[in-house]
Structure formats: structure tokens, C-alpha cells
Chains A and B, each alone.
Chain A
Amino acid sequence: MNEIRSLSRDQRVALVGRPNCGKTALFNALTGSRQKVANYPGVTVERKEGALATPAGRQVKLLDLPGTYSLRARSPDEVVTRDAVLGRLAGETPPDLFVCVGDATNLRLCLRLVLEIKRTGQPMVFALNMFDIARHRGMSIDVARLEAELGVPVVTSVAVRRGGTAALLAKVDEALAAPHTPHAAEGWSEPDAAGVRRLQKEADRILRAAVQHPEAPDTVTARLDKVLLHPVAGLAILLAVLFLMFQAVFTWAAPVMELIKGGFDALGLWVGTLLPEGLLLSFIQNGLIAGVGSVLVFLPQILVLFLFILLLEDFGYMSRAAFLMDKIMGGAGLHGRAFIPLLSSFACAIPGIMSTRVIDSRRDRLATILVAPLMTCSARIPVYTLIIGAFIPDRSVGGVFSLQGLVMFGLYTAGIASALGVSFLLKKFVFQGAPPEPFMLELPDYKRPDARNVLMGLYQRGLIFLKRAGTTILAMMCVIWVLASVPRPPEGATQPAIEYSLAAKIGHAMEPIIAPIGFNWQIGVALIPGMAAREVAVASLGTVYAIENAEEEPAELGSALAGKWSIATALALLAWYVFAPQCASTLVVVRRETGSLGWMWFLFGYMLALAYAAAFVTYQGAVLLGLG
């Protein structure tokens, strides 16, 4: 009877465990999902759901949760996990079963959590994950003894190997077969320090009874850390890695970019031979190919950047970087843990802002959110590359570094420096008086990056970029093309057609504001749709100049710009983009994560003010130096 009832609905199973023990890797293996997996604590910050069918034919809804060391829930991500375990998640029936995941190579802190969850009275299975590594290191774990001591079913698993979850699935089936009505935990209360200590001592006792450590423990991590965490060499290596990353973005991607660019040029010419002169041809050539195409060219650069970030994440370097940077971040009033969100913001500010959920102090979390958009995200790459490519000579410095790569590195440095500066000021004037929060972070063992995981990450990021090009950027391009094409010039017009268009009217109206920072009306027009996403500005310039130069040979955007702008204008635009709040989705996420419209506008306002000031100083300074 019970069996029938429980089969008639989807059963719910939740994965819990301490950070970085492989919950999400298991989740992906079991459900075929592609959630983010990486080798540092605090990757998953919200609940994710997936479906699977067990060998016995049960339909199961699987829940992946943020990792936590205890049920006390100190930060927003841990609140989700606590509420799930206690069956308090709003609008959800409590799970039928908890799979408590533990890192078999490092059971000490896992066991305490198992004991803590067991006390809530929720049904559970304990999975000893990463069993492959434990075996490789020659650890011997007495599973039967663990089972007896803990009083819960224990099973081993390997999340990253095919078939590594079969035993776990069988155990889940077994556990779900038992009649059970899901319920919220009762009588749980937050343990005090003495309570936590008692549990840890109990965990240590069980560990001694059931686990034998090998004579020679993992030495690879220890040896690597001797160099990578060395006070001087470690910092030098961190700097070198970042430097290499930006040089690579500039130099490695170049050949592929040339190919794509050539492809689009050929496409434009080919379309020109197919279609008659007219509006449709102009739309395809100037709106689609010159506009959207000018953004797609940057895909290789973005992939190179992500390749670096994914490799660092999977290798286990992120926590080390946070360790090395703690003092510097702390000096600027930031939490040491803020470094990981800020480094993620090199890819995109949105995941960066999301990952601040692991920061326990609200004040520190807010400060990190407010400066994350200053880090140079991948959407700025097209803008920077376009302008650098057009205005900075392509020569080498000292025979090794490319000058263009150095300028790119300088722009990234400017972003980092401004983030530190702003957080220093925030701490001084906005969040006064609060004592510095402690920095405590686990440094996981290094792992060889998993090729499949890295390729999957690259594929996903590439797809997101292409989707944006196909949606936001495409839509904006249609708008820009229309604005730049209507109304048509009157008969006998003497100026280029675009001078009569709506776009020109809007741009000229903006001139009084943007002239002091050296922007012409074309840039002004590009800035408005650029609010949707930064790359749109490049696409808009592509379209505007393509229409303007319609009479001439289709020139590449970079060389068109080089002929029309002064160096002062180009430098001012670079300075503008270091700071400008040109991304609507970031603002939306800031509003959601801070829970306040006020902070969103604060962010928008201060970034806009900084952008204008920086562009003004740069332009006027450059003009004084005779670059106007």
C-alpha cells in the first residue's frame, strides 16, 4: 500500500554536504545537467533541481544545494541549505531523503555535518564521494564500521567517472522503498560552541575507528603550495598569470578573429552581388553584417579568457589567489573572500555578484557587489580591442610583449585599482566603523582540470555569447539601423544621407553634454543602445559608420575609426568604458541581490559620474598634450 502510494508521485531527494565535496558533480552525473562544477568552496549559491529515474523505476526530483559546514546558516547561500534540511523551504514539501555527500579524502568535517543532520531526524544516506582519490592515496575506509557508528546507510561514489554512481543509486532506491512521510524537522535549535565541539569530538572518534590514513599523504599539493603560496614568488606568479591571461586574450585569438572578419567581409560582398541596391540590402549589409558581425568577431577572445578562468577554477587556484590577495583586499576594506567573486567578474559581473552570497557579513557583501561591475568583464573586450586595434600601433615592447597587450593589461589594472579605490572610499564614508570581518577559507587540494568540464564550460559561455548576439544585440541593431536610415535624405541633398536621419538628430542633441569629453555624435548614438549591453556600442558604431560610408568601399570598422577620431577621443572612450554602467542586466541583478532599488541607483550614479570624470580628464589631458 505504502509502496504504491510512494510510487504514484515523484519523490524528492536533496544533496547536502560541506562545500567542495562534489555535490554538483554528482548532481550533474545523476541528472545529466550541466551546472557549474569547480574546485573551490562556494561554487553553488542557490538551489537547483533536476530529474532522474532510479534503476527500480522511481521518478525522483533531485535537489542540489549550496555547501555548508553546519546548519547554522551564516550567509545567504547557507540559509537555503538549512531551510531545505529543516523542511522549511517556502512552497515545497520537505524532501523524502537526504543524500549527505562527503569528501572521502577528507572526512573530518563531513562527519560532523552528518551527525548534525542526523539529529534533525531526517532520513538520509551518506555518500563517500571522491572515492577514487581516496583509493589512489591508499586510504582504507571501513564502510561497515562507519555505517554501524553513524547509524545511517553509507555508500561510496565517484562523481566524475562513468558508473561511479551505480551503488549510490541502488542505496537511494533502498532507502526510498521504506515507508516515509516527508516532514519538517522538529525541535532543531542552533548548537552553541560546546555543542559543535561535542559533535566534532564524536566525529573524530568515529574517524579514528573507521579510517586508516596512509603513511605518505598527498604531497603534490604540499609541494605546489611551497611555490604558489610563497609570500614573494606566489604573488609574482599570481601577477604573471593575470598578465599572461590578458596578453593571451589579445594575441592568441588574433588569427581566428582575422578569419571570422574575412568571412563576414566576403559575406557582405557576396550579398551585394545577389540583391539589388536598396533598403533590404542596406539592412543586411549595414545592420546585420556590419553590426552584429562586428561583435561576433570577438568570440575567440572571449573563449580564450574563459579558458583561463575555467582552468584556474578547476585546478584549485582560486582559493589560493584569495589567500594571496587577502591583505591587499583587506587594506581596501574588502573581505578576503571578495577576491573570488571579483575574479569571476572578469568573465561577467553577474555570476560574480551572485557568488557574493558566500560572504557572511552583509556590509562586506554589499561593498563587493557595488565594486564588482568595475572589474573588466568580457563584454568590454570588443570595445577595448576595437579601439586599441585602431589607435595603438602594433609593435612589441622589449621584444616580448605586444604594446597592444600592454595597453589591455593597463585597462584591466585600471579596473582593479578603481574597484579597490571605490571600496576603500565606501568603507571610509558609507560603511563606517564596522570592524573587519574575519577571513577563513578552506584551501582544497589541487586537481588536474577535467577536460570535459572545461570544454563544457567553454561551450556554455560561447553559446551565451552567441545567444546575446542573436537576441539583445540583433534587436538593438535593428533599432539603430532604422534610426540611422530614416527619414531618407531630401532630393538634391548635399551631405551624407545619415546626416538627415533620426540618429543624427539624437546624436547632435547630445553634443553639448558629450563634446567636453571628446565624443562626436556617432559615439553619442552608440552609447544609448549600449546601455542594454556593452558590445552593442561596437555594433552600433559598425552600423552607423557603414551607412555613413555607404558610397565608399566597405572599410573595416577599425580603420574607419582611425580616420575619423583623434587619439584623444579614442583614449577618452576607453576611459569611459572602464567605468560606465553600460549593462542593464547587471543593474537588474544588483537590484535583486541587494534587495533595494536605492543601491542599484547608487551604483548607476557613481559609475556614470566616474566615467564622465575619467573621460573628461583623459580627453582634456590628451588635447593639452597635443593629441587632439
Chain B
Amino acid sequence: MSISTDWLLPPGAAAMTIKRSAPADLGAAPLGFRGRIRAVNPIAGSLPPEELERRLVELGFVEGAMVELLHQGLFGADPIAVRVDGVTIALRRREAAAVLVEAAD
């Protein structure tokens, strides 16, 4: 009998591990996801979109950069630690949702 760890993932991510399709945004990506940034497209949230976009870009989330989802927290699989072209950044899934990615294989 194997113990499922799917409950550790956010709702969308659990489905994704099964389908193995390319997730649309980093906020919903499962642990271990590797991919490339397609766009940074912030939606209004805790910050004005323009400000969120600048902060993400300043931390290296730029089109074409390689990302890898290395770690996630215990509760709601949040926050996440993402490797972006050699730098490890911790952020919450809510903000990571602004980063659109395509899976690399």
C-alpha cells in the first residue's frame, strides 16, 4: 500500500501530476516541475499588477528563463521555492500564478 501525498498539492496541481500536461502558470505547478517562462502576466491581487510584475522581473522571472519548482510548504503546498536560472527564490503560489510557464522535457 502506498501513501498518497496528493493532499499536499493545491487542487489544480494534483490533477496535473496525473495528466502530465504543461501547466499554464507556475502557481499551479506541481513539485519537481521544470520549465521555461513564457510570459509574466500579473493579475490584480495583493499588489497593483504593474508593481507585482516589476518585483517578479527584478527577482529574475523573465521570459525564457528556466524554472524548477524545488520545494513547497506543508500547508496547502505553499509557499514554494523556485530555482530561476541559478537563483533560488521563495514566494507564494498566489504571486507565482502571474508567471506563465511551459514544461521542458
- Report if A400 contacts B (CB, 8 A): no
B90 and A217 within 8 A (CB): no
* Bound: A191/B51 CA distance, A: 11
The answer to whether B90 touches A192 (Cβ under 8 A) is: no
8 Å CB contact of B53 from A109, A193, A439, A441 = A193
- Indicate if A265 sits at the interface (CB-CB under 8 A): no
Which residues of chain A come closer than 8 Å to B59, judged between CB atoms?
69, 109, 440, 442
Shortest Cβ distance from B76 into chain A, in angstroms?
7
* Segment 208-222 of A: residues with Cβ below 8 Å from B: 213, 217, 221-222
Give the chain A neighbours of B88 by CB distance below 8 A. 221, 225, 442-444
CB contacts (< 8 Å) of B20 on chain A: these are none
From A108, A231, A440, contact of B91 by CB (8 A): A440
Q: Which residues of A contact B50 (CB under 8 A)?
A: 192-193
Q: Which residues of A contact B10 (CB under 8 A)?
A: none
Do residues A196 and B86 form an inter-chain contact, with CB atoms below 8 A? no
Interface size on A, residues (CB 8 A): 44
B residues contacting the other copy or chain, number (CB 8 A): 40
**Does the CB pair B58–A196 fall under 8 Å?**
yes
Q: A440, B53: Cβ atoms under 8 Å? A: no
**A232 and B89 contacting across the interface, CB-CB below 8 Å:** no
Q: What residues of A have a CB within 8 angstroms of the CB of B64 in the complex?
A: 204
Any B CB within 8 A of the CB of A46:
no
> Please, what's the 1-or-0 string for B62-105, where 1 marks a CB less than 8 Å from any CB in chain A?
11110000111111111101000111111110110000000000
Q: Does A81 lie at the interface of the complex (its beta carbon under 8 Å from any beta carbon of B)?
A: no
Contacting A225 at CB < 8 Å: which of B71, B73, B79, B92?
Answer: B71
Tell me if B54 and A72 are in contact (CB < 8 A): yes
Interface string of B20-63 (1 = CB under 8 A from A): 00000000000000000000100001110010111111111011
Is the CB–CB distance between B73 and A324 below 8 Å? yes
Bound-complex Cα distance A318 to B1 (A): 38
Q: Is A106 an interface residue (CB 8 A)?
A: yes
In the complex, how many residue pairs between chain A and chain B have their CB atoms under 8 Å apart? 124
* Interface presence of A562 (CB below 8 A): no
Interface centre among A193, A225, A327, A439 (most CB of B within 10 A): A193
A436: interface (CB < 8 Å): yes
Chain A residues contacting B63 (CB-CB under 8 Å) are 197, 201
A326 to B85, CA, bound (A): 24
A235 adjacent to chain B (CB < 8 Å): yes
B73 touching A231 by the CB < 8 A rule? yes
Across the interface, A441 reaches (CB within 8 A) one of B71, B76, B89, namely B89
Q: Is A200 an interface residue (CB 8 A)?
A: yes
Residue of B nearest to A331 (CB): B75
| Residue with the highest number of chain A CB atoms closer than 10 Å, among B52, B55, B72, B76 | B55
Given contacts A196-B57, A231-B73, contact A442 B92 (CB under 8 A): no
User: Are B54 and A193 within 8 A (Cβ)?
Assistant: yes
> What CA separation (Å) do A109 and B56 show in the bound complex?
12
User: Residue of B at shortest CB range from A322?
Assistant: B90
Query: Of all chain B residues, which has the CB nearest A434?
Result: B46
Task: Report the nearest B residue to A324, measured CB to CB.
Answer: B73
With contacts A204-B62, A327-B76, A443-B81 taken as known, whether A196 is within 8 angstroms of B54 at the C-beta atoms is yes
A346 to B77, CA, bound (A): 29
CA distance A126 to B46 in the complex (A): 36
B-side residues, CB < 8 A to A, are: 8, 40, 45-47, 50, 52-60, 62-65, 70-79, 81, 85-92, 94-95
Chain A contacts to B: CB under 8 angstroms: 69-70, 72, 74, 106, 108-109, 112, 191-193, 196-197, 200-201, 204, 213, 217, 221-222, 225, 229-232, 235, 319, 322-324, 326-328, 336, 435-444
Q: Which 5 A-B pairs have the closest CB atoms?
A: A231-B74, A193-B53, A229-B71, A443-B88, A435-B46
5 more contacts with CB within 8 A, not counting A108-B86, A442-B88, A443-B88, are: A112-B58, A192-B50, A225-B70, A439-B90, A440-B55
